[in-house]
Structure 1
Amino acid sequence: MGEDAQVAGAEQDLRRDVRDARRVVVKVGSSSLTTAAGGLDADRVDALVDVLARHLAPADAPDTGEGKEIVLVSSGAIAAGLAPLGLDRRPRDLARQQAAASVGQGLLVARYTASFARYGRRVGQVLLTTYDTSRRSHYRNAYRTLDQLLAMGAVPIVNENDTVATDEIRFGDNDRLAALVAHLVRAELLVLLSDVDGLYDGNPATPGTSLIEEVRRPEDLEGMEIGSAGKAGVGTGGMVTKVEAAGIAAAAGIPVVLTSASHAADALAGRPIGTYFHPTGRRSAGRLLWLAHASTPRGALVLDDGAVRAVVERRTSLLPAGLAGVEGEFSAGDPVELRDVSGHAVARGLVNFDAREIPRLIGRSTRELARELGPAYEREVVHRDDLVLLHR
């Protein structure tokens, strides 16, 4: 076999998991859907829907194994609301962003509804905040809703709930949301679409820079200069957030293709377009990925050295005996950081007690607490199933 044929065969094998992926999350950025002045570009929306519709499983038989189930994570709500509200650029303050999202979200979904209707497809709007997905019951409900929409042949249109999300409960950008949704729905592929055709080893506008065709591990990107938000000024992300999102998904065992919206058809067909991120890890328990990447700690628990070793090295639950202190105000069920005595965060977890209860638990055994305070106190402060280690 010649060298060219070997390369072609390797490329075909490389993207086979992309081509054969059944459940796919596609994320599209604001700059690919709107004008720089604000307002939806109907032609761009229709062009994207044309591609997605061609790859969808039959609406009347979504479980036949033909075609793909697609969840669309779409930015553009705030940008779509700028022009109708007389705003010439994306506002910086949260209140006006929420107002723009309130107007723009309806316009965005209406546009998708009309565009998919050309193919006889229904859409369903799903708005999420981090609160919806770090709590056990909310996480299950989000999964069931998305899974049922797909089972009924609808296309879920997912966005952050910008109209009510505060700084404390925001995902921060839809790239990260897309990576987490891919994990939530157990997707086999994440496609990130933007206005750039892939990841470059420098500024794409600078002569001599090259497209990075594949990323096998995070170390491949060390020392590389990665750009931020684009010139359009209607989005919040940029290549940095896309690479971070790709890393989150890849670490959860999901391959990622990063390319431009104009190459969406090639990306979904498995052709060697854009930048391909190899999976680098295995799928973790559902909520733990959200806990690590989407939750905002409401406080902190300080662990003594023995508890740090138990939690980090032996992967045990955190017991009251290992507590050395507490910081912040939080309620049972809230996410908190677990820190060593020097203040370094070693883990994050969902706490089983209110902050005001913690001081009387510090350094005491569960048996002792049960005798004095009752059987409800004979339990972990943070159970290992609700705990995720952070990179040290």
Structure 2
Amino acid sequence: MTVESELRRRIGTARRVVVKIGSSAITSFHGGIRRAELDTLADVCQARMAAGSDVFVVSSGAIGAGMAPLRMTARPTTLSAKQAAASVGQLELARAWGDSFARHDRVVGQVLLTAADIGRRDSAANAQRTLDRLRTLSAVPVINENDTVATNEIRFGDNDRLAALVAHLISADALILLSDVDALYDSDPRKGDARAVTMVGGAGDLDGVIAGPGGALGTGGMASKLAAARLAADAGVPVLLTAAERAAEALAAEPGVGTVFAPRTERMSARRFWVRHAADTSGSVALDDGAVRAITGARRSLLLAGVTGVEGLFHFGDVIEMHDQAGRAVARGIAQYDSVEVRTRLAERESGAGAGQGRPLVHADDLVAL
């Protein structure tokens, strides 16, 4: 059995599956929710659940679902208009999923999340417990970003990333991304001469791949799906990407369907995954070249000697970013000092007061290179 076929078998038999459904799969500009397509997807998810799997649905489409009732003819661009459309669309979408799964005597539980919910460990744990309880009660969790309260600064940006974070949160065995594209291609398939990539085993398989932005109804796109697949890979979750029209084949992980992404050989610890992908950052520090090499190449702790500047306000235990001299983020980690003390230490060093090195600013165990 090849690596790809084994990976597809693993996805096809996964016990706990996250299925992300893109806006274009279930909504249209003028008709709102496409009920027939949504019913078909619910049927596919029900078949997988009847076979013994737990299915968690991450559904986009709230803004698209709210456009028709509000007589919007183009996707809103301002934050307030998006939130207004989402406030109407969330109700429409929840009702549609509820009606659809009711045909199978299934109850739906709506779970709305913001980036801040995942970024805080206490609220993330609460979300995980809610999702798990819905599962044990045989309800279908339908998860979406809470667009009505999210802001540009804290939003996930697209539900592909949300789906990957949920996959980590619930320790999923597989993530299936359904959109309007049947596979990953090395270029835009609409322009011809594009080659489908059936498996991504590592970053080298993406050499030469050109990923574009999302369509008119959604905020995602191939670039966001690649980022989500990499994020899920860090969590040890295999991913299958394909079109919503091939949902039944995808959930069965049939040969030749879409693109599969291999997970990391060793699943990143929950703590390190949280630091790298989910946690809110509260400030940053600038590093000299030696410190950058030490934390990214040698995986050493960040010492105060390598810090050249501080931005923002942070406290002991907060997650901070580390930047190189060009301002690029190179790592994230949990601070062992607050920003006031770091600034004081740097000032003492500049004045020649001889401040001691002390404990690391970020210990190697709490530091993740980007």
2:12 aligned partner: 19
| Cα distance between partner residues in 1 of 2:106 and 2:188 | 39
| Cα distance between partner residues in 2 of 1:11 and 1:380 | 43
| Cα distance between partner residues in 2 of 1:316 and 1:254 | 27
Classify the secondary structure of the residue corresponding to 1:56: helix
Matched, 1:239 2:222: yes
Classify the secondary structure of the residue corresponding to 1:168: coil
Classify the secondary structure of the residue corresponding to 2:67: helix
Out of 187, 194, 219, the residue aligned to residue 209 of structure 1 is 194
Out of 300, 305, 308, the residue aligned to residue 284 of structure 2 is 300
Letter of the 1:39 partner, please give it: G
Letter of the 2:21 partner, please give it: V
Classify the secondary structure of the residue corresponding to 1:337: strand
Cα distance 1:99–1:359, how it changes in 2: closer, same or farther (>3 A)?
same
| Cα distance between partner residues in 1 of 2:271 and 2:71 | 40
Name which of structure 1's ranges 320-329 and 275-284 shifts more when overlaid on structure 2.
Answer: 320-329
Cα distance 1:17–1:383, how it changes in 2: closer, same or farther (>3 A)?
same
Out of 112, 115, 120, the residue aligned to residue 127 of structure 1 is 112
1:1-392 counterparts in 2 under 5 A? 12-37=5-30, 39-57=32-50, 67-230=52-215, 233-272=216-255, 273-295=257-279, 297-304=281-288, 307-308=291-292, 311-313=295-297, 315-318=299-302, 320=304, 323-330=307-314, 334-341=318-325, 343-351=327-335, 354-362=338-346, 381-390=361-370
| Cα distance between partner residues in 2 of 1:286 and 1:214 | 26
Deviation at 1:201, TM superposition (A): 2.8
Cα distance 1:15–1:219, how it changes in 2: closer, same or farther (>3 A)?
same
Cα distance 1:12–1:78, how it changes in 2: closer, same or farther (>3 A)?
same
Cα distance 1:316–1:151, how it changes in 2: closer, same or farther (>3 A)?
farther
What's the RMSD between the two structures over aligned residues? 2.8
Name which of structure 1's ranges 71-80 and 206-215 shifts more when overlaid on structure 2.
Answer: 206-215
| Cα distance between partner residues in 2 of 1:202 and 1:307 | 38
| Cα distance between partner residues in 2 of 1:112 and 1:89 | 24
- Percent identity of equivalent pairs: 52
Deviation at 1:118, TM superposition (A): 1.2
| Cα distance between partner residues in 2 of 1:352 and 1:129 | 27
Deviation at 1:83, TM superposition (A): 1.4
Deviation at 1:315, TM superposition (A): 3.9
Cα distance 1:209–1:314, how it changes in 2: closer, same or farther (>3 A)?
closer
Deviation at 1:11, TM superposition (A): 6.7
Letter of the 1:183 partner, please give it: H
1:62 aligned partner: none
Letter of the 2:242 partner, please give it: T
Normalised to the residue count of structure 2, the TM-score between the two structures is: 0.88
Cα distance 1:335–1:100, how it changes in 2: closer, same or farther (>3 A)?
farther
Deviation at 1:34, TM superposition (A): 0.5
Deviation at 1:295, TM superposition (A): 4.8
| Cα distance between partner residues in 2 of 1:364 and 1:307 | 19
Letter of the 2:124 partner, please give it: Y
Deviation at 1:29, TM superposition (A): 0.3
Letter of the 2:75 partner, please give it: R
| Cα distance between partner residues in 2 of 1:94 and 1:145 | 28
Name which of structure 1's ranges 306-315 and 188-197 shifts more when overlaid on structure 2.
Answer: 306-315
Deviation at 1:200, TM superposition (A): 2.1
Classify the secondary structure of the residue corresponding to 2:223: helix
The answer as to whether partners of 2:22 and 2:179 remain within 8 angstroms in 1 is yes
Question: Which ranges of structure 1 fall in alignment gaps of 5 or more residues?
Answer: 1-5, 58-65, 366-377
1:318-347 deviations in whole A, cap 9, x for unaligned?
Answer: 455654321124455543211245544321
Cα distance 1:166–1:383, how it changes in 2: closer, same or farther (>3 A)?
farther
Letter of the 2:285 partner, please give it: L
In the alignment of these two chains, the number of paired residues is 363
| Cα distance between partner residues in 1 of 2:303 and 2:134 | 41
Deviation at 1:81, TM superposition (A): 0.8
Name which of structure 1's ranges 292-301 and 258-267 shifts more when overlaid on structure 2.
Answer: 292-301
Question: Which ranges of structure 2 fall in alignment gaps of 5 or more residues?
Answer: 350-357
Normalised to the residue count of structure 1, the TM-score between the two structures is: 0.83
